[in-house]
Amino acid sequence: MRLLVLSRNASLYSTSRLVLAARSRGHEVTVADPLHFQVVISRGRPAMFLGDRLLPAVDMVLPRIGASITNYGLAVVRQFDLMGIPVLNNAIAIARSRDKLRAMQLLTKKDIDVPKTVCARTPDSVDAALDFIGGTPAIVKLHQGTQGIGTMIADTPQAVTSLLETLWAMGQDIILQEYIAESKGRDYRAIVVGGRVIAAMRRQAKKGEFRSNLHRGGLGVRVDLPKEYRQAAIAAAKVMGLEVAGVDMLQGRDGPKILEINSSPGLEGIERTSGIDVAGAIIGHAEKFLARRKKRRPSRDPVVEAEQRNTRVRPTELARAGSTGRRARSGG
């Protein structure tokens, strides 16, 4: 398998582990920064340049798209989708999970429990929103963000209003969520790969911090998830359409509540905490995913394959080639 890993930094733990796992199984691996790609739009012939070269042929793409490059990263992933190259995860699934409000809407439509959530946009709506979620303390979140960034707690109605007005003035869209006191600063992270929970841990926030993310200083402990939590994590990943997902859950009075779904979960914390080879499981699933795709669809266009092996082709030359092809088809 010729695997392309999309990552800003090949030395990051998660990226390097995926590369090592793939190469240990005999696969050819390339790591490329999504920002170095040029998306080529051409009727009937989508293509991709990496720098000034047409991208060599690849069999599978594994995106690790950070929140800071979501828009362009999604454009790159979407182009691979259009080119018929299998992607683990695809652009639609990543976009769903990256938008916190959209994710909550999709989850509740499938009757999956989440913290009470309100999307508000004007100061006169704050009181009603707080009444619905049970008052303060309340959690304030930006629509997009990972690793606890963009997640805040407000202890009084006045603090909520002040925080929201500041964020709105900065052009930010926000959501308000109930504070789950019974979670006591703990949450659960489950890694779902191919519809199975392969590793899980409980995270405890450090003293004085309400966010349990390991990047915020939280402590991770290996845990065997109860069946109810495993089912919730698997269902949440399925609703998003994610083949690989990190699902964060809180312990509510009535069972698990889905807190967040990450399409590019970090591997360092979960592997070191659980002792499980998560990277190997992801590569193993990529192999099965690719095999299923090959059975479902015809082989790649040999013309595209030939073009991708032609290494010093400029975007302008590709445009001229496309124009020539159209004239030939029209008899001009």
CA angle 300, 330, 315 (to 5 degrees): 55
Measured CA to CA, the distance from residue 238 to residue 244 in angstroms comes to 10
- CATH architecture, range 116-179: 2-Layer Sandwich (3.30)
Measured CA to CA, the distance from residue 256 to residue 259 in angstroms comes to 9
Residues of the chain with CATH 3.30.470.20: 98-113+182-277
Measured CA to CA, the distance from residue 183 to residue 218 in angstroms comes to 14
Q: Where are the alpha helices (DSSP H) in the chain?
A: 13-24, 70-82, 91-98, 100-109, 126-133, 157-169, 227-240, 268-274, 278-296, 302-308, 315-330
Residue of higher predicted confidence among 232 and 302? 232
pLDDT at 91: 96
Taking 70 as the threshold, does the pLDDT of residue 318 lie above it? no
Class of 2-87+298-330 in CATH: alpha beta
Write out pLDDT tens, residues 62-91.
Answer: 999 988 899 999 999 999 999 999 999 999
Give the confidence band of 145 by pLDDT, cuts at 50, 70, 90: low
Answer yes or no: are the C-beta atoms of 32 and 82 closer than 8 Å.
Answer: no
Answer yes or no: are the C-beta atoms of 58 and 30 closer than 8 Å.
Answer: yes
What's the CATH number of domain 98-113+182-277, 2.40.37.10, 3.30.70.2190, 3.40.50.300, 3.30.470.20?
A: 3.30.470.20
The arithmetic mean of pLDDT across residues 90-99, rounded, is 95
Residues of the chain with CATH 3.30.1490.20: 116-179
Measured CA to CA, the distance from residue 326 to residue 282 in angstroms comes to 41
Write out pLDDT tens, residues 260-287.
Answer: 999 999 999 999 999 999 999 999 999 9
Answer yes or no: are the C-beta atoms of 263 and 244 closer than 8 Å.
Answer: yes
Is 91 in a helix, a strand, or coil?
Answer: helix
